[in-house]
C-alpha cells in the first residue's frame, strides 16, 4: 500500500496497514501508526509521530520547523494522536524549546488550510473549520468547534465544548461551554445545542447557565463575580470546571 513514487527515509518507522500515496515525503525520525493513510504530495517532516488510523490529505505538511526566530534547530517534536483527520494543505509545526512539542490529541478534524503553530496543545474531538489559524502556544480543549477563518492570538486558551463563530479574532481566553461571536469577540450565551447533543442533562445545562449569568450579567468584575459564585452556588463539576478555567486565565476571558 506504499506508492513506489513516495520518498521515505529508511529510518522512518511505518506501521502495519499504512497507505502512502505518490510523491509523499517522509523524513527520518518519523513514526506512522498502524492503519494511517497519507495521500499524495503530503510532507511528514522529521521528529514527528502520527498515531493509528489517521488520514493526512494531499499537500498537508506535518512537523515542519516552527516560524519562530527563537528556534535554533533544537530537537523538538510534533505528536499526533489516533484517528485524526488533517485535510488539504493544513500545516502543523513542531515545538520549540518553550514546550518541546506540539500536541494533537485524538479524534480531531483539522480542515483545509488550517495552521497549528509551534507548541500548541489540541485535546480531543475538536473541529477546526477551513483556514483557522492558531498562533504559537495556543491550547484548545475537548469538543471545541472553531468556525472557519478564525484567528487565534498566541497563548490563548479555548475551553471545552465551545462554539466560536467563523471569522472571529480571539485575543482573550474563551471559557468552556459558551458561544463566542460578534466583533470584538464576546460571550453570546452557552452552547446549549452542543451540550444537549453530547448528553448533558437539563440540570447540568441550567447550572452552567446560572454560573455565566452571575459571571457576566451582574455588573461585577471577574474576581468579584467568581467570589460571589463560590459563596452562593453549591459546588458541582460544571461550576468548578468553569471557575478553575477563569482563575487560571492568564490573558483574561472574553467579555459580554
pLDDT in tens, 8-49: 999 999 999 999 999 999 999 999 999 999 999 999 999 999
- Tens digits of residue pLDDT in 168-226: 999 999 999 999 999 999 999 999 999 999 999 999 999 999 999 999 999 999 999 99
Rounded to whole angstroms, the Cα distance separating 196 from 233 reads 22
31-38-75 Cα angle (round to 5): 35
Measured CA to CA, the distance from residue 45 to residue 52 in angstroms comes to 18
141 as an active site residue: the answer is no
Give the percent of the chain with pLDDT over 90. 98
Is 119 considered catalytic here?
yes
Active-site option among 136, 147, 159, 160: 136
115 has catalytic annotation: no
CA separation, residue 246 to residues 56, 98, 122, 142, 154 (Å): 35, 23, 19, 17, 18
**What pLDDT score was predicted for residue 114?**
98
Per DSSP, which regions of 9-131 are E strands?
13-14, 19-20, 25-26, 30-32, 37-38, 43-44, 48-50, 55-56, 61-64, 77-80, 85-86, 91-93, 101-104, 109-110, 115-116, 121-122, 127-128
* Residue among 119, 124, 141, 142 flagged as catalytic: 119
Ranges in the chain annotated CATH 1.20.1180.10: 195-248
DSSP 200-222: --HHHHHHHHHHHHHHHSSS--H
Give yes or no for a contact between 107 and 82, defined as CB atoms under 8 angstroms apart. Answer: yes
Q: Cα torsion for 198, 255, 156, 103, to the nearest 10°?
A: 0
The fourth-level CATH superfamily of domain 7-137 is: Hexapeptide repeat proteins (2.160.10.10)
The residue from 93, 115, 118, 161 that is catalytic is 118
To the question of domain 195-248 being in CATH 1.20.1180.10, the answer is yes
Strand pairing partners for 152?
A: 134, 170
Mean pLDDT of the chain: 97
pLDDT at 256 exceeding the cut of 90 = no
pTM of the prediction?
Answer: 0.96
Q: What is the pLDDT of residues 46-65, one digit of tens each?
A: 999 999 999 999 999 999 99
Q: What percent of the chain has pLDDT over 70?
A: 100
Question: What is the structure's pLDDT at 106?
Answer: 98
Q: Quick one: 42 exposed, middle or buried, by C-beta within 10 A (0-12, 13-18, 19+)?
A: buried
Give span(s): CATH 2.160.10.10, the chain: 7-137
DSSP alpha helices (H): ranges in the chain?
192-197, 202-216, 222-232, 237-248
- Per-residue pLDDT for 86 more than 90? yes
Amino acid at each position: 500500500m506504499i506508492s513506489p513514487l513516495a520518498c521515505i527515509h529508511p529510518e522512518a518507522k511505518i506501521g502495519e496497514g499504512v497507505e502512502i500515496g505518490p510523491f509523499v515525503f517522509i523524513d527520518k525520525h518519523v513514526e506512522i501508526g498502524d492503519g494511517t493513510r497519507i495521500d499524495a504530495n503530503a510532507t511528514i517532516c522529521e521528529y514527528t509521530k502520527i498515531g493509528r488510523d489517521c488520514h493526512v490529505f494531499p499537500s498537508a505538511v506535518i512537523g515542519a520547523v516552527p516560524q519562530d526566530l527563537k528556534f535554533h534547530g533544537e530537537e523538538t517534536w510534533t505528536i499526533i494522536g489516533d484517528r485524526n483527520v488533517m485535510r488539504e494543505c493544513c500545516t502543523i509545526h513542531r515545538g520549540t524549546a518553550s514546550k518541546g512539542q506540539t500536541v494533537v490529541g485524538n479524534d480531531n478534524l483539522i480542515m483545509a488550510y488550517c495552521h497549528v503553530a509551534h507548541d500548541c496543545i489540541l485535546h480531543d474531538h475538536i473541529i477546526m473549520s477551513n483556514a483557522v489559524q492558531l498562533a504559537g502556544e495556543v491550547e484548545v480543549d475537548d469538543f471545541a468547534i472553531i468556525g472557519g477563518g478564525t484567528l487565534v492570538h498566541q497563548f490563548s486558551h479555548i475551553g471545552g465544548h465551545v462554539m466560536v463563530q467563523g471569522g472571529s479574532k480571539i485575543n482573550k481566553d474563551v471559557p468552556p461551554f459558551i458561544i463566542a461571536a460578534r466583533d470584538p469577540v464576546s460571550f453570546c450565551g452557552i452552547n446549549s445545542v452542543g451540550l444537549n447533543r453530547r448528553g448533558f442533562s437539563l440540570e447540568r445545562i441550567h447550572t452552567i447557565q446560572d454560573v455565566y449569568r452571575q459571571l457576566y450579567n451582574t455588573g461585577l468584575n471577574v474576581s468579584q463575580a467568581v467570589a460571589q459564585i463560590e459563596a452562593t452556588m453549591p459546588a458541582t463539576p460544571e461550576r468548578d470546571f468553569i471557575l478553575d478555567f477563569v482563575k487560571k486565565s492568564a490573558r483574561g476571558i472574553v467579555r459580554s
